[in-house]
Chain A
Amino acid sequence: MLESRRFVIIGFFALVGIIYLLRLFYLQVLDESYSIESSSNSIKRVTEIPFRGQIYDRYGKLIVYNTPVYDLLVTPSKVRMDDTLRFCQVVGIQRRDFDSLMNAASTYSRMKPSLFLRQLSKEDFASIQDIMVDYSGFEFAKSSLRTYTAPTLANTLGYVSEITKGQLEKQEEPYYRQGDYIGQSGVERIYENELRGKRGTKFVMQNVAGVYKGPWKNGELDTMAVAGENLYTGLDLEVQQYADSLMLNKVGSVVAIEPKTGQIISMVSAPTYDPNILASRYFSKNFAALVRNPYKPLFNRPVMASYRPGSTFKLIQALIGLQEGVITPGSGFTHANCPVGCHNHPATSTVALGVTHSCNPYFYNVFRRLIYKNNIQNTFKASAVGLDAWHDNIAKFGIGQRLGIDLPSEYKGNLPNKKYYDRFYGEYRWKFSNIYSLSIGEGELLITPLKMANVAAIIANRGYYYTPHVIHGIGDKKSVKPEFLERHETGVDAHNFEPVIEGMIGAVEAGTARRSRVEGISIAGKTGTSQNKRGDDHSIFIAFAPVEDPKIAIAVFVENAGAGGQAAAPIANLIIEKYLSRKVTNKALEERMMKLDLMSKVVLPTTKKPGETETKKAEETKKTEPVKKPTGDPNDPANRLPGAPHPANPAAMRGPVTLPKQKAL
């Protein structure tokens, strides 16, 4: 009867209990959307940005470090401002900027702090901090800026800036977030992963108004930020700055390598800029100015600019000739029956004398013998086979390929082979007489200053090289990347180097570079004069010293400075002396070189020609987005940058594959 209704009632109670238990089980155990990580708004994840690694020179001198700076944050809902104009004055912004910054902040969130001004220096911070008491709603957050101990090495070190939208989207692992800083060029870009360190995460509690309420769980789940790893370079800061001063008011490059290790001692890209200007709150303004600068200071010439090697290439010709047995140290050649001209000099009866006097016909003959070394009767076929054999030998010196330096955008250069000429002339439609300008480093050859410095290092080492590199130690253990410890052989026997080195000594003592010899240091060197259609020749010099126990190998390129002995050789020898004896004796030469101003002689790419505007645009895109890899095609306008010569034979260089297409555009 009615008593039995108690079961209905108790059953109803139990049913509600069970429904509630199931619902709670769902909410608390099954449904992840309510877990701490995903939806908790009382616990905020705060990211701590670690300090970037510092960079040192070869003697442990600091080159790059971090300075604490202050970001000014604003929480729009809390702003109380009576005197906006005074605030703008103190902070140093226009009223217009103030309004737009406030608008942007309000659009993001009225309750949460957002960035108002970036990177105020300690001095700015000190002056603003006092007055900030009068204005509520603003707070400071500490961050850091790259700082450079000396105004040098801008392109080698590279710069750090806020990650771009494109980079943000392209990253493989979602590591970076909007507003993060990332190495954009140079060492900063290549060693980004080592330098950036490990971000820390803190879980902090906040109340409903977003006010900090202390660490969550006493920081049990927090991870500490780990500072980035320090980098140790082989750079000599003192020599670097000395080289900078010598390259003042010139366009060109200096690359100095320690031959025994491949460490870069100095790397000048002239003209350059003070790297500190890109590590300030005026980044965008300064960066835009650098991009607009017609001399392209952002273009890292030592690894990106292409030149023809000129006479310096004769060294490799001689070495290959000796190794292949087409000449002996005692071989001599005269100027007779030779299509290449020469200057007046003593007879070249040995390899050494050929090098010393840089005799064009001598190396014309060496090259001719190399090309026709095979027994094929047909000169077309013989040339084809001979060129490929020659190509493979030259390639071992790092010509025509990337050396693999730890800097971005290294230009591959150009070392023509059979296929290359076949593209222009057709198979077996060309022979030695079409390509003989290669013999003296002209024609279709393209190299970079870095490659020629490496050639000097190979000769210094008598036959091998280590990949040139800037960073010779990562982190506390100073570990070296394994690829930089790998010895590359050129296949030329050590004894074959001696006659060539003898000739190089002669060049410095009595030959083309005699005017810049250094008392007390035995230098072996070779001048080069790189022809170009756009102005005076480029002055080139490569050398190493001391001859007996080489400690430095160097390549100097000075654009539009004339012959190799005129600017490049003196500069190189001054740097060598500075590096080896830490002082310079020939003060008159030093002064002359420092005062030498070639900027007026430098021929900039003309922009008025129709069609050239596009080229210029392409150049600029390339520089602002160093991500883009050079194509290595000499017809690519991006690779034919200021100072780089136009190909000697424009008709030949105009690749039938690429250019008509470009015209069609």
Chain B
Amino acid sequence: MPESKPITKNVDWMVVLIYIACLTIGWLNIYAAVYNPEAHTSMFDLSNNAGKQLMWIGTAALLIICILVIDYKFYETFSFVIYAVVIFLLVVVLFAGSNINGSRSWIKLGGFSLQPAEFSKLAVSLAISKYLSDPAISLNRKLKDYYPIMGIIALPAFLILLSNETGSMLVFASFAIVLYREGMPGFIPAIGMIGAALLIITLLFVKWYIAGAIIVIAGLVIWLMPVMTRRRGGLWATIIVAFAMIGIVFGVDFFMNNVLQKHQRGRIMVLLDPDSDPRGIGWNVIQSKIAIGSGGITGKGFLQGTQTKFDFVPEQSTDFIFCTVGEEHGFLGTAVVVFLFVTLISRLVVLAERQRSRFARVYGYCVAGIIFFHFLVNVGMTIGLMPVIGIPLPFFSYGGSSLWSFSVLLFIFLKIDAQRPFTLSRG
């Protein structure tokens, strides 16, 4: 049977190697973050995060073996079932979950806690891939084809929001990438980008000035357009767009002041000006920047970090693990991590593009998009380019649920990819 060719021959070793590299570096940095020079913390002691992470890595390896052994068709066939199970868990957690850090999102199983929200990414990815694997679905022509996708995303998003895990919910924004690849008109992400830009400008400047600037630019466009393109049709469109933008500006202003809660508004304001609240919300951002900045070019050396160790940086081994890398290994260390991530997600895009089935390609893009979004937000937050949103850095941050979910997410794609030569094109 040709399918019985060993998986080791077909799996994409580049991705596997990056995955192993990330896990190793991540684990060493978790050890550095919890290392106590007075107590000579052991790397293998299960009572600290480094030891536990090693256990999570071991169990993740078992999971991976399972994934590689299971027939690749399982995931496509059972994608909606998996989705249903995760939704069920999300509902269960709302009623039976344990409250940790204000989020009712953990299920306790014996001594360990699981976070179903982490697995919702996998479920949604599989469900969207399955839905889009129908060749009749077209994203650039029929608006109604979007409704099921919206539903697939909105249901878990709503449930996660109820359990107060805003960060995990925001990750669903990463599906914009796969939708764009599958035919979503380009102006939608463009509008999204302009909207985000307007949001930031609105927070930085007085809204009346922005409105004035938009009107001036619109005027210039109306005046110059006929000259440049010899077309007159854009007049009304331009006016409408200009008014829409002004509307957004005022909307954002209203949203910021009247809708958002104080701490959410603070997190966004701190992004723009961390010094506005150096002891409060700005603390994390400032301390994180000090830790990374104090690393210099080569860093203070393994286990020599001080900012990260003595509790200046919060959540050192989880959300702010990147600070440890920055402080102890300097710019060289952080550059390696950035390079690893960009290489990984780019490689995933390349792998996705070579899939013959649409299901596999969409799923590949989902994986790439989710990892990218985590990288974008997590690293961005530690260097002060993104608001503080508590989502982990894939493969680096301490945490069983996130390690498991990312590993499963990634290796399902690698399994499907490994079977690629033997699948028939369907889309």
Binding site for B on A (CB under 8 A): 2-3, 5-6, 8-10, 13-14, 16-17, 19-21, 23-25, 27-29, 31, 33-36, 39-43, 205-209, 213-214, 216-217
A483–B102 Cα gap in the complex (Å)?
78
A17–B338 Cα gap in the complex (Å)?
6
Interface pick from B66-74, B238-246, B293-301: B293-301
A6–B355 Cα gap in the complex (Å)?
13
Per the 8 Å Cβ criterion, residues 284-306 of B in contact with A are 289-290, 292-297, 300, 304, 306
Task: Judge whether B311 is part of the interface by a CB distance below 8 angstroms.
Answer: yes
The 3 closest A-B pairs by CB, nearest first: A34-B293, A207-B310, A17-B342
| A1 and chain B: residue at smallest CB distance | B183
Chain B residues with CB under 8 Å of A29's CB are 296-297, 331
| Contact present for A208 and B312 (CB under 8 Å) | yes
Task: Judge whether B133 is part of the interface by a CB distance below 8 angstroms.
Answer: no
| Contact present for B294 and A24 (CB under 8 Å) | no
Chain A residues with CB under 8 Å of B341's CB are 17
| Contact present for A20 and B385 (CB under 8 Å) | yes
Chain B residues with CB under 8 Å of A17's CB are 338-339, 341-342
| Contact present for A205 and B306 (CB under 8 Å) | yes
A205–B349 Cα gap in the complex (Å)?
45
| Contact present for B338 and A39 (CB under 8 Å) | no
Chain B residues with CB under 8 Å of A36's CB are 294, 296, 300
Chain B residues with CB under 8 Å of A20's CB are 338, 379-380, 383, 385
Chain A residues with CB under 8 Å of B181's CB are 2, 5-6, 9
A–B Cβ pairs within 8 angstroms, 14 of them: A2-B182, A6-B353, A8-B180, A9-B180, A10-B349, A13-B342, A14-B342, A20-B385, A23-B384, A25-B331, A34-B294, A41-B290, A208-B310, A217-B304
Task: Judge whether B177 is part of the interface by a CB distance below 8 angstroms.
Answer: yes
| Contact present for A2 and B290 (CB under 8 Å) | no
| B181 and chain A: residue at smallest CB distance | A5
- 15 more CB-based (< 8 A) A-B contacts, given A29-B331, A207-B309: A5-B181, A9-B349, A9-B368, A13-B345, A16-B376, A17-B342, A20-B338, A20-B379, A20-B383, A24-B383, A28-B295, A31-B293, A42-B306, A42-B312, A206-B310
Report how many residues on chain B are interfacial, defined by Cβ distance under 8 Å. 48
| Contact present for A27 and B346 (CB under 8 Å) | no
| Contact present for A24 and B37 (CB under 8 Å) | no
Where chain A touches its partner, the secondary structure class is helix
| Contact present for A21 and B335 (CB under 8 Å) | yes
Chain B residues with CB under 8 Å of A207's CB are 309-312
| A28 and chain B: residue at smallest CB distance | B331
Chain A residues with CB under 8 Å of B182's CB are 2
| Contact present for A35 and B293 (CB under 8 Å) | yes
| Contact present for B385 and A214 (CB under 8 Å) | no
With A24-B326, A35-B293, A40-B290 already in contact, the answer to whether A5 and B180 are too (CB < 8 A) is yes
Per the 8 Å Cβ criterion, residues 154-201 of B in contact with A are 177, 180-183
Please encode chain B, from 339 to 357, with 1 for each CB lying within 8 Å of some chain A CB and 0 for all others.
1011001100110110000
Chain A residues with CB under 8 Å of B320's CB are none
Task: Judge whether B399 is part of the interface by a CB distance below 8 angstroms.
Answer: no
- Measured CB to CB, the closest approach of chain A to B199, in angstroms, equals 18
Task: Judge whether B330 is part of the interface by a CB distance below 8 angstroms.
Answer: yes
| A41 and chain B: residue at smallest CB distance | B312
A402–B181 Cα gap in the complex (Å)?
94
Chain B residues with CB under 8 Å of A8's CB are 180
| B341 and chain A: residue at smallest CB distance | A17
A35–B300 Cα gap in the complex (Å)?
11
| Contact present for B346 and A23 (CB under 8 Å) | no
Please encode chain B, from 389 to 417, with 1 for each CB lying within 8 Å of some chain A CB and 0 for all others.
00000000000000000000000000000
With A13-B342, A42-B312, A43-B306 already in contact, the answer to whether A23 and B385 are too (CB < 8 A) is yes
Q: A216 is contacted by which of B38, B306, B368, B384 (Cβ under 8 Å)?
A: B306
Chain B residues with CB under 8 Å of A209's CB are 311
| B335 and chain A: residue at smallest CB distance | A21
- Measured CB to CB, the closest approach of chain B to A128, in angstroms, equals 30
| Contact present for A13 and B372 (CB under 8 Å) | yes
A28–B181 Cα gap in the complex (Å)?
36
Chain B residues with CB under 8 Å of A6's CB are 181, 349-350, 352-353
| B306 and chain A: residue at smallest CB distance | A42
A21–B183 Cα gap in the complex (Å)?
31
Where chain B touches its partner, the secondary structure class is helix
Per the 8 Å Cβ criterion, residues 351-383 of B in contact with A are 352-353, 365, 368, 372, 375-376, 379-380, 383
| A23 and chain B: residue at smallest CB distance | B383
A36–B310 Cα gap in the complex (Å)?
15
Q: B292 is contacted by which of A3, A5, A13, A24 (Cβ under 8 Å)?
A: A24
Task: Judge whether B334 is part of the interface by a CB distance below 8 angstroms.
Answer: yes
A85–B310 Cα gap in the complex (Å)?
38
A601–B240 Cα gap in the complex (Å)?
106
Chain B residues with CB under 8 Å of A2's CB are 181-183
Task: Judge whether B307 is part of the interface by a CB distance below 8 angstroms.
Answer: yes
| A211 and chain B: residue at smallest CB distance | B310
| Contact present for B306 and A40 (CB under 8 Å) | yes
| Contact present for A40 and B376 (CB under 8 Å) | no
| Contact present for B183 and A10 (CB under 8 Å) | no
With A9-B181, A17-B339, A28-B295 already in contact, the answer to whether A34 and B290 are too (CB < 8 A) is yes
- Measured CB to CB, the closest approach of chain B to A92, in angstroms, equals 37
| B286 and chain A: residue at smallest CB distance | A39
Chain A residues with CB under 8 Å of B310's CB are 42, 205-208, 213
- Measured CB to CB, the closest approach of chain A to B355, in angstroms, equals 12
A206–B304 Cα gap in the complex (Å)?
13
- Measured CB to CB, the closest approach of chain A to B317, in angstroms, equals 16
- Measured CB to CB, the closest approach of chain A to B392, in angstroms, equals 17
A8–B193 Cα gap in the complex (Å)?
14
| B332 and chain A: residue at smallest CB distance | A28
A23–B326 Cα gap in the complex (Å)?
12
| Contact present for A28 and B297 (CB under 8 Å) | yes
| Contact present for A3 and B383 (CB under 8 Å) | no
A205–B300 Cα gap in the complex (Å)?
13
- Measured CB to CB, the closest approach of chain B to A581, in angstroms, equals 67
| Contact present for A35 and B296 (CB under 8 Å) | yes
| Contact present for B338 and A24 (CB under 8 Å) | yes
| A43 and chain B: residue at smallest CB distance | B306
A2–B306 Cα gap in the complex (Å)?
49
Chain A residues with CB under 8 Å of B177's CB are 9
| B139 and chain A: residue at smallest CB distance | A2
A42–B311 Cα gap in the complex (Å)?
9
A23–B383 Cα gap in the complex (Å)?
7
| Contact present for A28 and B293 (CB under 8 Å) | yes
A208–B312 Cα gap in the complex (Å)?
5
Chain A residues with CB under 8 Å of B339's CB are 17
Q: A34 is contacted by which of B289, B342, B349, B352 (Cβ under 8 Å)?
A: B289
A17–B340 Cα gap in the complex (Å)?
10
Q: B383 is contacted by which of A10, A27, A33 (Cβ under 8 Å)?
A: A27
Most buried by A among B292, B294, B346, B349: B294
| Contact present for A39 and B380 (CB under 8 Å) | no
Chain A residues with CB under 8 Å of B376's CB are 16
- Measured CB to CB, the closest approach of chain A to B130, in angstroms, equals 19
Most buried by A among B309, B342, B384: B342
Most buried by A among B180, B290, B353: B290
Chain B residues with CB under 8 Å of A16's CB are 342, 372, 375-376
Please encode chain B, from 35 to 53, with 1 for each CB lying within 8 Å of some chain A CB and 0 for all others.
0011000000000000000
A213–B330 Cα gap in the complex (Å)?
23
- Measured CB to CB, the closest approach of chain A to B244, in angstroms, equals 24
| B310 and chain A: residue at smallest CB distance | A207
Chain B residues with CB under 8 Å of A23's CB are 383-385
Most buried by B among A9, A16, A41, A43: A9
A640–B384 Cα gap in the complex (Å)?
69
| Contact present for A214 and B293 (CB under 8 Å) | no
